[in-house]
Amino acid sequence: MITYDMILFNGRYSWDGTKKDGRFPITWFPGAYDLKIFDRTNEKSGIKHLKPYICVYSETGEGQSISVNPEKFAKEICYEFSLDIEKVLWVEDLLSEKDRYNVIMFNRSGRLSDTVFYKTVKRKAFAAEIKQIEQGMAEAKES
């Protein structure tokens, strides 16, 4: 059984759609998502993960959706929690019974000055990923 040493965030993450500190908002309209971030860097299993963080997000129905284009959302989460976007397993929880989890992969596609651009690819989660996600979700529910 996997146990995560730390849950970095477990709650509702919201934004107001305004520019702050020179940073563009996730969307120009307010929105909110349920968000859970799991830290697997100190697992006792001895396994070193290529993606040591798992970020699971799901729609709340409040405000603007980021499901079609999650790049700005992911970048803002990384900025706020000091994460590397390429070291996070990004998971959209569709809150459905069948094919519940989509994994979102961000592949570098270019750079302009300090801004990195990513191509976003969505796929269904693999069985091993689902097992890790559900373990983290169970631990988040207990805390």
Is residue 92 in some structural domain?
yes
Q: In the chain, how many domains are there?
A: 1
Q: Which amino acid is it at 67?
A: S
Q: Are 135 and 2 in contact (CB under 8 A)?
A: yes
Is residue 1 in some structural domain?
no
Is residue 69 in some structural domain?
yes
pLDDT of 81-128, one tens digit each?
999 999 999 999 999 989 999 999 999 999 999 888 999 999 999 999
Q: What is this structure's pTM?
A: 0.90
Please give the Cα distance from 106 to 50 (Å, whole number): 14
pLDDT of 12-68, one tens digit each?
999 999 998 888 999 999 999 999 999 988 776 777 888 999 999 999 999 999 999
Is residue 19 in some structural domain?
yes
Q: Which domain holds residue 136?
A: 6-142
